[in-house]
Structure 1
Amino acid sequence: SNRGASVRIPWQVEQDQKGYIEDRRPNANVDPYVVTRLIVDTCCTALEKAGQV
């Protein structure tokens, strides 16, 4: 995983088929619930397009 990335998904997640997503941005001026929803929606949409869901 790239520790310099803003959003990071550790390699172990793919192997275990479960895990977590790290949001590593330093700013606190955004609603974390809105950001989390956007990240999850983006990941789910990408998986649907790839036929993995």
Structure 2
Amino acid sequence: MPKMRSKADLPSKTCTVCRRPFAWRKRWARVWETIDTCSDRCRDQARRARRAAR
């Protein structure tokens, strides 16, 4: 039986929008290096900020 990992053992990053830490998720395995926001809400907020900066 595989050993269970705790969340503390997983890699984490800090969200570029809200500055909160967030942990690695299995669905992000292929794109972990490109992830910079913790949620859809933060991602949308970052997009709005980039559009407003144009």
TM-score range, shorter chain: 0.3 to 0.5
When normalised by structure 2's length, the TM-score is 0.33
Greater helix share, structure number: 1
Structure label with greater radius of gyration: 2
Q: Which has the higher contact order (CA 8 A, sep 6+)?
A: 2
